[in-house]
Each structure stands twice: as structure tokens, then as C-alpha cells.
Chain A
């Protein structure tokens, strides 16, 4: 069963400067699907007449993921009667990126005639010298084109030394650096700030801890009610939420939208989605676009919990709705998602997915086994190893969206809730990229690939090692059908050796750069295949084993990515040397390549290694990426 051309694309542009061909891939972020909502959806969200409210305008600029010739399919020609195809309501990650490019252009930059609030570049520079950071006046200025590019590089170059000075090591300083205090410092980013006791004597301390966090996310309603915050509870941050709401509504009142501003080295990015304000506050040198992507993903998580119609309904009935209650229990999903951003997520940065590297024929076997055991209620079937896709089957008419998969993987692998239960899970979930107006039902079961299956209570499997079977259906009553399919599927995989292959591939892990090119100067690389919307990377070990080092690595990548994707630039190759590392980015219509080497790596050696890695990736393409995939 070979894949058919994927569904029509919605012209979702990426923020990437060049278009790329669109292949028939199963994780194609285009979208058309609307699951059956009459019998399977929840009543509230499911009436066919009830149309989802309009989503933000869809840009029509160049599309990285565009199908090219594909035109939107008329509704009603689906093989599965349970599904009806409509104009999409997709808001997938890629769409999000596109809105930067199409509509908002890297957040604040270059909106001629619009007031923007941003600490000016000169201010940034001078503040660093005089440490007059607190007086960072948020001043409004009318931007003009050239300055925008400067800003991108300016932020990048100017902040770097500042950061190094601020934390004794600096984020960019690896690998020669071995400062234990810094390692601890970053780990504390994820520690709870604690709660203020009733008599309030802890308040100072807790507030100090709260302020020490370098990354904050706050979600509040337009009416100013706090909904969720990564650090601290509602009481602690209520005054800050009030300040945020005041600032935002000050701009709203003058018919303007505040998108971002900086104060010293702290960046504030605001995303408004319907009745929600999402705010990211970061001291991690992330670009507006990157923070915006993260906020969009958090918004998607909220939609995934509630669905768009029910979210809209709640606020249309009562604008002062307290969303905390409906979201109860999903806070950990938001937190783990936020933490994955703070730790640094290549998947989010690149808006792409990672696959487990196995032979093409082996993947084919797994695909075929899935196809053979498929039951009628199955919509998507996935095998995922520690967040890396092993195999996927899907209906011909429907593709999967990286943004949706990111939410699923976060739920299945990062949040403990599903795995800790120990059994099989049946989870109603809205995949906003697929259809934001209704629920699908997800069967999740983890494979036990350990040698001695007898020690059942042993929970030593790590996130990276755990392998999950995920079956998604539009039918909420199909649990047992999918369970039976799972049993059959696993039995056959056992027989045809696929389980062993998956286990070996998981155990083997990602290749080191030195495995690919002996003696290379490269410490790490990311390679994104634009056509497949997938990426591959080298092992984090040994240079980036700790999360703080990984964070620094990701900061480097963030900067590279921001530089090379800056609006109005058409950079193809970018080489950057800092006092702690040299990094290199190369972007073509086919791929995006980013790599990092030691500070004094020779530029030619760097470029040579880069070419070799790219050669290697292209040689191994069919093992590293899922190309085609299985469709029915």
C-alpha cells in the first residue's frame, strides 16, 4: 500500500523565505479533515449546524508546505463515511508560522505606520554598559524597513556578551565550560516556587524565587482573569496579571495590538487568540517569532482540551468566565509543553518531526502490519518511540499535522499522567490542526520491550526508550475494537521481528557526529527536510548531556534560526563565531541545516563537515525520514 498524494494544502505559508516542493507525506501539515461530529463528537461541540467561529485570517503568501497544484477537494468524496471533508479549520503549527510571515511579519517588525513598543537598539546597547536596565523605557517608535534587519542581528550580537556577563558562564558557553553552579541554576528553572502560607510570611521568599525564573508563561482572559501560569499560583501573580492586562488593553483601546516589547534583556511577547491573551516572558535570547510559536502551541493545547467552539461558547456566554475550572487537570500538559520549550525543542524550532532511524524495508514491514491489522474505526495509527515517529498509517484523504503530533507526543511521553496509569488509556482529544471543533478518541498503550518482561513493576524505562502504540478514532465507542487491533498488531510485530528492530533502534540512539564523520569538528547538528516536514539530529552526548548545556545549544540554534529566517533577508548560509562556539546554518529549498562546533573551529573544516553530513543525510534519507508512509 503506497501512499497517495496527501490532502490539499491550505496555502499555509511558513516563515521560511523559499517555497519547497510538497511530497506525498503522511505528516503533511495541510489540512482538510473534519471528523464526523454528529454521532461521535460531544453534543456540545458536535452539532453539524454549529459552525466553528472564524479563525484568524489565513495568509496567502508563499507556502513551504504547499502541495503545488493541489486544489481544495470538494466535500463529500471521502471513503470513510464517518468523515466529512470541509474547508479546513486548521491552525497547525505551520500555519502559525505562516501568520508571522504573512500577517504579522515577525511580530513587531515592519508594520509601517503602526506604533510598536520596543526598547530601541541603542538603548539595549547602552543599558548593557551602564546597567541602567531598569529604566528601559518602553518607547513607541515607527519602524522602518532597514532597521528591522539590524534589530535581528542587533539583538543577537548585543545580547550575547551581556548574557555571558550576567550568568557567570553565559548560555553560549560550552563545551569547555564546566561550571556546576550554572548547571544547577538552570535546573532550578523548573522547580516550583512554593506557595505563600496563610500568614504570608513566605511571600517575599516565594516572590524572589518567582522573579528568578528566566522564563514565564502567563495565560489570562481578555477580562483579566488569570487562567494558567507556569510559575507561581494565581494569588502570587495576580498583581502582575493585572499589570499585563492593563498594558495590553492600553493598546487595545487605541485600536492597536501590542505584540512584543523588550526591557533590558527580557523579552515580552503577547499573542491574542479570541478571548485569551497569552504572554511569554523570556530572558533566553529567543526571538519574537520563536516565542510566538511557543505561545501558539500552548493555545493549541487549550483548544485540544476544550475544542474551539466550546472555548468560544464559554466566553460568549460569560466574558468573565474563569477558564481554570474547565481546564482543570490539563495544567500539567501546559506545563510540560512549556518546559519542553524552555529546555529547548528542536521540533518546535523547526516545526518538524523526528523519526526513528530504521531500514526502509523494516519500516515497510511495520506499516504493512499496521495496515493488515487495521480495523474500520481506525483513523490514524502511530507507533512512536520516545517522541520519535516509527510508523504511521492514515486515510488517504487526511494528513497529520506536526503541531497536533507535538501535542500528542507531549501528552503521551512528557506528561506522566498517561504512562503512570500503567494500563491502556482512552483519551478524548481535539487535534486542532485536524479539526478544532470536535474530539477524536485516542487509544494509547505502551510496549514492554525489556528483555525480562517478568519484572512488571519495574518502571525504569525512560521517556526516550518507551514505545507507544497510539490509535486514533473518531468513534468514542471503539476502545475495545482498537484494543483488539493492538493485541493483534503487537503479536504480529513480535512474530515478524519488528519489535526487536524497534528496540535495537531505540537502544542505539541517535548517531554522534563523530560516528558519521570521524574526527569532525562538529558537536551537533540539526537537519530539516523541508519537503517531509521532518528533521534529524545527532546525539546530544557527550557535549550536551546536561539540560543546561542543551539549553545553550538550543539558544545557539535559536539565534541561527532567527538570523537566517529574518524578514527581508535572503540569507542562504550563515556562519557565526562567538567566544564559546562557532555555528553554521545553511538553508536551501530542500533542507535547513544547522550545526555547532567549538569556538575556534576552522571555517573550512566546518563547511566541509556540514557538506558531508548533508551527503550522509541524503544517502540515509529513506531511513531517517518517513517518506510516503502508508495510507488507506
Chain B
């Protein structure tokens, strides 16, 4: 992960287009809701179409403003996905650690992104619903760390019992071993995290890591280049500089707090 060091300007601000992809009901919207509003809703209704949200993330040397496309996971919306990932600088590909098929779907998305998205795109593979596993239970309070760094041996003992209905305390619903996903992420050069939108574990860390991983060149090479990268084709006709975007009060919709790092 490249640490941004080269700017002299005090806390320059740049915007990063980020798209969330993944199977239906893996928790994409919940991750965003946790990141943007620090909130969680049980039984959230499925997203329809896509939702657009923004959130600032403060790094030591700069402020990153994430412009997030939270897409619907249902298959019938899949054909719209290119519209959202085209020109995105970052992607969160989300799967559900209790559902192996969702990792398969995630791999498809990764392949599609590598094939079709802009070449420099930063992809993070995120296994969500960590709270349903014993891991999540044990490590919930601990300081988050990238899971590919830690061995997480527990995770490989997928007990194969009943899934979500099972009380977290009594059984481990994990079906996707950490090792399996992290190995895949390493092979493909992806960032990898296991998160829980419900407890908040690792959520902010994902976004911070992405912010750090965005190549300097695509962030701050003056206005022109910023417009080139920072703007999806959806935004044609929209200048990329932030003051324009901030026009009008969209503020209340997004929480004030940035990620603390």
C-alpha cells in the first residue's frame, strides 16, 4: 500500500469514486451505512438500482472524499454495473463469510473488474458478516488488522451447522475459511478484509486502506487529470472539483465524522 507522502499542501482534498459489488444480501449497503452513518439496520430491504453516497476519510496527509456507488446485488441489475465501475478508482467486492456461493460470485466480479474497469482500479475483497462466526465473536473488540496478515486458524474450522438462524454464541456459521479467501486475494493482488457491518469491525479500515492504496498519480495531478480519473462517464458534463459537488445541501444526508486514522 502506497503511503501518500509527496504533497506539500496542507491536507489537500481529492475525491475517489468507489463502487460496491457483490451478490445480493451480502451486506453491501450495510457496510456503506456503517461507514457513512455509523449505523446498522437489521433486515434491511434490498437496494433497488443503486444508491449514491459520499463520505470523507481523513488521512494524515490528505482528505479523501469517497463518492460511493452502492449497487443492488440482484442479477437483473448486473447489466447496469459497468455504468458504475467504469472509471471508478476503487471497488469493494463483498461476499458473505457464511455463504460460499457469494465468494464465487465475488470472484466473477473481480474478474470482470480486472477485464473491464480502468486499469489502475484498487480492488478490495471483503468478507462480511464476521459477527456470525466465532471469529467475529472473539475478535470483535480487538484492534482490526488485515486478515491476510493474521493466520486466523479458527476460521478454517467451518462447522457446517445451521447458518444465520444459529445464535452467534452457540455456533460458528462460517462457511468460507479466511485462508481460502485471503489466498485468492493475494493471488489477484487485492486488499482483503473480513468485516462486520453489524458490529463495525474492520469497516472503516477497509475504506482507509483503500484510500491509502489509491495511487498518488490518480489522486492529485492537478485539475485536469483529476477530472479524467475522478469522473465516471455518468458524470459527463460535471466538473470534478469538489466545490461544485458540495453545492446545495446534501450535507445532512452524510454523517459528519470522517474515519479517524
Q: Which of A396-436 contact B (CB under 8 A)?
A: 411, 415-418, 420-429
Cβ contact within 8 Å between A415 and B235: no
Contact A423 B253 (CB under 8 A): yes
Contacts of A476 in B (CB 8 A): 80, 83
Question: What mask results when residues 58 to 76 of chain B are scored 1 for a CB within 8 Å of chain A, else 0?
Answer: 0000000000101011111
| Segment 447-481 of A: residues with Cβ below 8 Å from B | 448, 453-454, 456-457, 476-481
* Interface residues on chain A, number (Cβ under 8 Å): 48
B256 interface residue per 8 A CB criterion: yes
Count, A-B residue pairs, CB within 8 A: 137
- The yes or no answer to B41 lying at the interface (CB within 8 A) is yes
Q: Is the CB of B46 within 8 A of A479?
A: no
CB–CB B49/A427 < 8 A: yes
Contacts of B73 in A (CB 8 A): 329
Is A145 among interface residues, defined by CB-CB distance under 8 A?
Answer: no
Output the nearest chain A residue to B233 by Cβ-Cβ distance: A477
A457, B41: Cα distance in complex, Å: 12
Interface string of A302-341 (1 = CB under 8 A from B): 0001100000000000000000011011101100000000
Partner of B37, one of A305, A422, A484: A422
Q: Are A490 and B39 in contact (CB under 8 A)?
A: no
A483 at the interface (CB under 8 A from B): yes
Q: Mark A473-506, 1 if CB is under 8 A from B, else 0.
A: 0001111110110111011001000000000000
Question: Is A448 in contact with B252, judged by CB distance below 8 angstroms?
Answer: yes
Give the residues from 52 to 107 in chain A that come closer than 8 angstroms, CB to CB, to chain B: none
A residues in contact with B79, CB < 8 Å: 42-44
Chain B residue with Cβ nearest A376: B237
**A422 — which chain B residues lie within 8 A by C-beta?**
33, 36-37, 51, 53, 253-254
Q: Tell which of A415, A456, A483 touches B45, judged by Cβ atoms closer than 8 Å.
A: A415
B251 within 8 A of A: yes
Asked if A417 meets B48 with Cβ closer than 8 Å, knowing A457-B37, A487-B247, the reply is: yes
B185 CB to closest chain A CB, in angstroms?
27
Q: A residues within 8 A CB of B237?
A: 480-481
Q: Counting chain A CB atoms within 10 Å of each CB, which of B77, B83, B248, B251 scores highest? A: B248
Tell me the complex Cα distance, A329–B29, Å.
13
What's the nearest-Cβ distance from chain B to residue A480, in Å? 4
The answer to whether B115 has its CB under 8 Å from any CB of chain A is no
B234 interface residue (CB < 8 Å to A): yes
Contact string against A for B residues 130-145, beta-carbon threshold 8 Å, 1 for contact and 0 otherwise: 0000000000000000
Residues of B244-261 at the interface with A, using a CB-CB cut-off of 8 Å, are 244, 247-256
Compute how far the CA of A448 lies from the CA of B233 in the bound complex, rounded to whole angstroms.
Answer: 29
Q: Are B51 and A425 in contact (CB under 8 A)?
A: yes
Most-contacted residue by chain A among B48, B74, B77 (CB, 10 A): B48
Given contacts A329-B24, A488-B248, contact A420 B41 (CB under 8 A): yes
Q: A442: which B residues are within 8 A, CB to CB?
A: 49
B248 touches A486 (CB 8 A): yes
Contact A332 B45 (CB under 8 A): yes
Q: Name A43's closest neighbour in chain B (CB-CB).
A: B79
Chain A residues contacting B41 (CB-CB under 8 Å) are 420
Known A325-B75, A425-B52, A480-B237; judge A453-B249 contact (CB<8 A): yes
Provide the residues of chain B in CB contact with A490, threshold 8 Å: 248-249
User: In whole angstroms, how far apart are the Cα atoms of A415 and B46 in the complex?
Assistant: 10
Q: Provided the pairs A326-B75, A420-B44, A456-B253 are in contact, do residues A479 and B52 lie with their beta carbons within 8 angstroms?
A: yes
Kindly state whether residue B218 has any CB partner on chain A within 8 Å: no
- Tell me if A417 and B46 are in contact (CB < 8 A): yes
User: Could you tell me which residues of chain A, from 221 to 262, have a CB within 8 Å of some CB in chain B?
Assistant: none
Q: Tell whether A426 pairs with B72 under 8 Å between CB atoms, given A43-B79, A488-B248, A491-B248.
A: no
**B208 at the A interface (CB under 8 A):** no
* Docked complex Cα distance between A442 and B51 (Å): 11
Contact A424 B74 (CB under 8 A): no
Is B6 located at the chain interface by the 8 A CB criterion?
no
Q: How far is the CB of A173 from chain B (nearest CB, A)?
A: 35
A428 near B37: Cβ-Cβ < 8 Å = no
Q: In the complex, which residues of chain A have a beta carbon less than 8 angstroms from the beta carbon of B249?
A: 448, 453, 490-491, 494
Q: Is the CB of A332 within 8 A of B46?
A: yes
Set A330, A418, A457, A488: member contacting B255, Cβ < 8 A: A457
The one of B68, B233, B256 in contact with A456, judged by C-beta atoms closer than 8 angstroms, is B256
Interface residues of B in 116-148 (CB under 8 A from A): none
**Chain B residues with Cβ under 8 A from A326's Cβ?**
75-76
CB–CB B234/A477 < 8 A: yes
Q: A418-B48, A423-B52 are in contact. List 12 more A-B contacts (CB 8 A).
A: A329-B24, A423-B51, A423-B68, A425-B48, A426-B50, A426-B52, A448-B252, A453-B252, A456-B252, A457-B255, A487-B247, A487-B250
Query: Top 7 A-B pairs ranked by shortest CB distance?
Result: A487-B248, A427-B49, A423-B53, A421-B51, A329-B46, A417-B45, A329-B74
25 contacts between A and B (CB under 8 A): A328-B46, A330-B48, A332-B46, A415-B45, A420-B45, A422-B53, A422-B253, A422-B254, A423-B54, A424-B53, A425-B50, A426-B51, A428-B77, A428-B80, A442-B49, A454-B252, A456-B37, A477-B233, A479-B234, A483-B238, A484-B238, A487-B248, A488-B248, A490-B249, A491-B247
